[in-house]
Structure 1
Amino acid sequence: MNKIKDLKWGVTTAAYQTEGAYDKDEKGLSIWDTFTQKSHKIKDRSNARIATDFYHRFEEDIDLAVDIGLQIFRFSISWSRIFPEGVGVVNPKGIKFYDKVINYCLKVGIEPWVTTYHWDLPQKLQDKGGWTNRDVINWYSGYVTVLRDHFADRVKHWVLINEGIVCVGAGYFLGVHAPGKRGIRNFVSSTHHLLLAQAEGFKILKERTGLQVGTAISCTKIEPYRNTTADHKAAIRIDTLMNRLFIEPHLGLGYPDNDFPVLKRISKYYKKGDIEALKTDFDFWGIQTYAREVVKAAWYIPYLGAIQVKPKKRNVKTSVMGWETYPEGAQYFLERFAKYNPKKALWLSECGMALSKKEDDQIRIEYYQKIIEGMKTVLDKNINLKGILLWTLVDNFEWAEGYIPKFGIISLDRKTMQRQMKKSAFWLKKYLSNIKL
């Protein structure tokens, strides 16, 4: 039986949020490069053209992760760094960069994990419709094939698509993330195509023996505001959208459209064999959870029929992002997903807490202490938890929030690019050293 000392610890990062060098070495533009050109889309009017400058400082960051005692370094690959045009000619300079990152990880003794897609679609493909265009299945398959052929000899753990619901929900339904599209038609088509693409990506990577291939699922605890039938039904709809839509089709359960009838619109985009093609027996599931949302029925909200009751209205303290930070969600979702398949390997592949620049980092330590208590309970229940990857290493560009939220256990001076370990990093280093004794 796994104990807390047997878990693997690591960190998760993302290409667009860290690399910078947005136009260096023949990299093409991504949808986020384009989206952030309109500065009003980002809360602090910033962009990630430099970000944390991981492109030039990856050795320093990996060394910091090793010094803390982390065993896994999960990073994503920029599709437009590999294919500047999205498809076609491979950029050898892009391949060379990720070769250097992977090789350095192996040199210093930390395991590299690759996320193939963390929201930064090449702009050239978005110009053709992006995830709303069924051709994206072939575009993604070609991209994953190149990643496999170049990196699978050294990278054994692969995360296919990071948080599909956020990618299409924020980017193709609400329009608050790149590419800034809105509407139910964009949402349902991109959802179906993304899931099909992920299923194809799994098959491509599994053509190589010895690879562990999984997905990373965004999970948000949803609760009804009032003990009424209407609010309970609203909570079920939102829970279906947030926590079931991007796993149940892969489990062979089909789309959960009985509990969220709007999803029936996806059938317009079906082709023969699609539902069967969605079935994917991932080697592991990555659970990623940050917040709790409380909802109430709202007939006037299109498609959802629900609205969030803001934490402040509930007299609940929020993070700098306005979220109700909810470490209890880790235990809840690990237990919930274990019910789908008790044998499936589970990872807590992202969790973290956003603080403002002025807040005491002790708050982050207490957050992770609660996460650890939840993991201990999960392990006591013989749930197949393998490890935890923190979000994130260095304070980075946090999408539409810019640089305001600080998720890192290491701070960044954006003028000098100097890194400095926070209280939480020193605490974690001591904790990891102690549990190995």
Structure 2
Amino acid sequence: MRFRLFLNLAFMLPLIGTAHAAQNRIDTIRPDAPELAKHGDHGVGRLTLELTNPDQIDILNVGDTGDLPIYDRRLTVEVYYPAQRNAAPTPMATFLRDGETEVVLHGISAAGAEPDRTGAPYPLVLVSHGYPGNRFLMSHLAENLASKGYVTVSIDHTDSTYRDKAAFGSTLVNRPLDQIFVLDELERLSTEAGGPLNGLVDTERTGLIGYSMGGYGALIAAGAGVTDVAVDYDWGAPGTTLARHLAGSDSHEALVDDRLAAIVAIGPWGRERDFWNADGMAGLRVPTLFVAGSEDDISGYEGGIRRLWEEGTGADRHLLTFVSANHNAAAPIPAPAESYFFSETLGWSPFEHYADAVWDSVRMNNILQHFTTAFMDLHIKGDTDKAAYLDLVPKAEDGVHAVSEDGFPTDSHTYWAGFADRTAKGLRFETLSKDQNAK
């Protein structure tokens, strides 16, 4: 009996795997998704670029002599852009968290599709993954924004991907440098005659979205500097290589880029490890949307992400909280079917890297798409109508849903803009203006 059961399972598992693989969709919009989560009017094209940042410090090979070896740092990026709507979507091949298992993702983008140049140039949004991650981890959001008239560029951060994860010090030093370098490269490519991005990208008002260590990098790029404590950690960046991002230093000031108009920092790391303090965070000078799970045990919540939001007094900022969610709140794509199985390489199921124990991933993705759209449209496109989606009763459950018989809000209606009745539960949205401290 046991032998027969084993044979049946052995026969069925490949079929189950095939069926589930076909369901690795990153573009699902649930019926209860908030209003701005839906895709925009553009088709979405996609292309892969290989970029090289010359003469960078080779952090992995810094020794005890004080010498700083130099190398050319290579980065792979995925560019999602507004395209003609007639191109059929093509799948995206990538890897799981174990760095070995190949998976195929299905969305709305078409590789090599003809750009829609009628609205060009389009504003730029950079997307920066965690440690480890890869350029497809937030592809749900990259595609979504591209359909709404943005060129979104998602970065594979060398030494920080599933395939090449290396010493943490490289991520600590290189993350904001990668982000600004890619911004510079997109500006160059947008003026390159005959190139695929010529005339397609406007970098003058750029957005930056970072998850975990991507959020750490985004804060540095937006003006917040790290502490002396962070520079001196023997387990961090070697020597004093992190000092270039020290709060108040000339090197950090030179990195901060006026083209950044808005950042979204999802689960940004480091406050509970004293990489940040109030003085360094006060240097934040770009409007920021912080996103967090209230039970984040990687970056921390009360003493971590929430504290960063409170201390970033140099900028207008919001904090979107998924109550009871952990570190995977909103950013990762839904767990691919292949991640459900135990990984010998990791010693655990890769599913844990993508999913949350309380919240549905698609639900969180849709909420993030909604708020990121409102935030970027307001600060990058200057669409002031989107401000209403960010002016909310802090605790969603305190909002009152009151509409007339013909469906229009009454004077007592305070429910969250863009959310249908009963669909904003479990969320908090709080706002602090520049120079305003939390009460």
Pairwise TM-score range, normalised by the shorter structure: 0.3 to 0.5
TM-score (norm 1): 0.35
TM-score (norm 2): 0.35
Rg (Cα) greater in structure: 2
